């Protein structure tokens, strides 16, 4: 069986060390329909790969299907994310394709974004009939009641808000075991807006500032494997 690329081990090492720095947060850049860059912070949830293919890792994050990034990913699947680990002093810049899996229902706020040619892991999972909705529901269940409430805003994130007063009536918690009819309604709304976002890396630039002299390694996915090149930091 092929093995994980060395950069995945390095990310996992950096994640294990210094959890006090909450190292699961990275910035993800997209390109909008006008070709302008757009960037925002997101939380890394997990790695995932097609069966027996740890050499084809995906990064799993999540979003509200109504956000601007989803519209941008319909226009272009290209993304780059930048992940800084203050504890280990590692920076990873991960370049690749993103794919969004919203709720499958016809009333969902968005369609899945297209899987571009070259996104081998995403193509393999699609062709193997991978159940992305089961994965989406599993991720939703793992969220806190407060996080789930964040996908219950009546309007899309980024739309105008008249005043902070309006927010007072919005749900604060969406518990996993709904007790009231309102809890059940909020659960459906939140789950309906919740989407998985998968990032398939094809290039990774790893800078190690924790060693002297500093190191930098460029990884590129080529054919059936990852090619590594040491570069000047």
Ligand X SMILES: Cc1cc2nc3c(=O)[nH]c(=O)nc-3n(C[C@H](O)[C@H](O)[C@H](O)COP(=O)(O)O)c2cc1C
Tell me which stretch binds ligand X (CB under 6 A): 8-16, 55-63, 73-81, 213-221.
Answer: 55-63
> What is the DSSP track for 155-172?
S-TTS--S-GGGGGGS-S
Taking the C-alpha atoms of residue 109 and residue 188, their distance in angstroms, rounded to an integer, is 13
Taking the C-alpha atoms of residue 100 and residue 74, their distance in angstroms, rounded to an integer, is 9
* Interacting residue with ligand X among 87, 145, 157, 175 (CB under 6 A): 157
233: which 2 tokens? Answer: 């930091």
Torsion angle of the four alpha carbons 119, 121, 126, 129, in this order, in degrees rounded to the nearest 10 = 170
Query: Which x/- pattern, by CB under 6 A, does the window 158-197 give for ligand X?
Result: x---------------------------------------
Q: Does position 61 bind ligand X by CB under 6 A? A: yes
* Interacting residue with ligand X among 62, 88, 120, 186 (CB under 6 A): 62
Q: Which of 98, 192, 75, 85 is nearest to 140 (CA)?
A: 192
Q: Does position 136 bind ligand X by CB under 6 A? A: no
Tell me whether residue 81 or residue 202 sits nearer to ligand X (CB atom): 81
Q: What does DSSP say about strands 215-222 and 37-43: parallel, antiparallel, or unpaired?
A: unpaired
Q: Does position 66 bind ligand X by CB under 6 A? A: no
109: which 2 tokens? Answer: 């706020």
The size of the interface with ligand X (CB under 6 A), counted in residues, is: 15
Tell me which stretch binds ligand X (CB under 6 A): 39-47, 131-139, 140-148, 161-169.
Answer: 39-47
Instruction: Report the interface residues with ligand X, using CB under 6 A.
Output: 25, 38, 40-43, 61-64, 67-69, 157-158
């Amino acid at each position: 069986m092929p093995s994980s690329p060395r950069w995945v081990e390095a990310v996992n090492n950096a994640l294990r060390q210094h959890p006090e720095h909450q190292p699961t947060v990275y910035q993800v850049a997209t390109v909008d329909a006008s070709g302008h860059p757009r960037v925002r912070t997101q939380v890394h949830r997990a790695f995932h790969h097609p069966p027996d293919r740890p050499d084809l890792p995906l990064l799993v994050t999540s979003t509200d299907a109504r956000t601007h990034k989803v519209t941008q990913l319909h226009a272009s699947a290209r993304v780059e994310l930048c992940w800084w680990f203050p504890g280990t002093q590692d920076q990873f810049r991960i370049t690749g394709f993103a794919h969004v899996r919203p709720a499958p229902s016809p009333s969902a706020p968005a369609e899945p974004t297209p899987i571009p040619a070259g996104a081998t892991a995403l193509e393999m999972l699609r062709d193997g009939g991978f159940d992305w909705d089961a994965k989406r529901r599993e991720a939703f269940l793992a969220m806190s009641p407060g996080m789930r409430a964040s996908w219950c805003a009546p309007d899309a994130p980024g739309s105008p808000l008249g005043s902070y007063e309006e927010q007072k009536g919005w749900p604060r918690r969406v518990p996993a075991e709904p007790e009231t009819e309102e809890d059940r309604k909020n659960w459906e709304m939140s789950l309906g807006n919740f989407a998985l976002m998968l990032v398939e890396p094809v290039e990774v630039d790893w800078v190690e500032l924790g060693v002297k002299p500093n190191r930098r390694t460029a990884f590129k996915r080529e054919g059936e494997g990852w090619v590594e090149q040491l570069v000047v930091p």
